[in-house]
Amino acid sequence: MTARRQQLDGVRKLADAVPGVYVVATVEDTGAGIKAADLVHIFDPYFTTRSIGHGLGLPIARSIIRRHGGDMEIDSCPGVGTTVRFCLPVASEARPTGKPREESIHTAPLMGKGRVLVMDDEQTVADVICAMAKRLGYTAVAVPDGQTALDVYALAEGTPNAFDVVIMDLTIPGGMGGKETVTRLLGRFPTAHAIVSSGYSDDAAMSDFSAYGFAGAIGKPYTMQELSEALYPFSRDID
């Protein structure tokens, strides 16, 4: 791995980075490489060529880097190897012009109360979401797919353990995803509230969530503050 300070201008840019001064890191290997047909999809959430895994590593890594003002790109040649490059803006430099900078507003997360059902097939992701929800004051339970979510929700409905909101992953490989699950949930429980969650930011269900029956949307990966704002409208009164 190498890293260097570099000026990225309109001619020598890395991916979609705004022209300016960056630290550019390069990681190379001499492995099997990636086929051209697969290379164009490597940043697609859930795209994977492996028998195990869920294809979220690279999309999440790129999303985090982009949130810090940088970007990532990958070049590869089958039988030769792969080169991964990513850049982050130099902290001491003024923010490059060309894209508006989001103001950093430090606000405390919105604490709440209630029960949250988390539907996500990736156990590690589900555990993290539950831990975040619990830190915000909620009780959280995780399930791996839509059918289990419907069963658990129905079992708790009408009891002190009823759920106030369900966070639904949009896509569940090999199982019932968010769109079908929310339709079936509202068919049985019209007053239920569901939040769609996905790394597919350009999916119509994320941009127009109410048209699909969702009460909110939150894109992966998200911060504690973003989760708190998504859950707060469904919070029970705090004594």
**Which domain CATH number covers 157?**
3.40.50.2300
86, amino acid identity? F
Same domain, 44 and 131: no
Tell me what pLDDT residue 181 has. Answer: 97
Tell me what pLDDT residue 18 has. Answer: 84
Domain range holding 51?
Answer: 2-89
Same domain, 32 and 121: no
- Whichever domain contains 22, its CATH number is 3.30.565.10
Residue with tokens 């119509």: 204
Same domain, 218 and 119: yes
Mapping DSSP to helix (H, G, I), strand (E, B) and coil, where does residue 221 land?
coil
- Has residue 98 been placed in a domain? no
Which of 53, 71, 89 is the C-terminal boundary of a domain?
89
Same domain, 126 and 206: yes
Task: Report d(CA 213, CA 226) in Å as an integer.
Answer: 21
Residue 20 burial by CB count (10 A; 0-12/13-18/19+): exposed, middle or buried? buried
Same domain, 136 and 213: yes
Q: What is the CA radius of gyration of the chain?
A: 21
Same domain, 126 and 226: yes
The model carries a pTM of 0.62
Tell me what pLDDT residue 48 has. Answer: 75
Tokens of 42: 């490597």
User: Could you tell me the mean pLDDT of each successive run of 10 residues in the chain, 239 residues long?
Assistant: 86 78 91 86 75 69 82 90 91 51 60 97 91 96 97 97 96 92 97 92 87 94 90 84
Give the number of domains in the chain.
2
- Has residue 77 been placed in a domain? yes
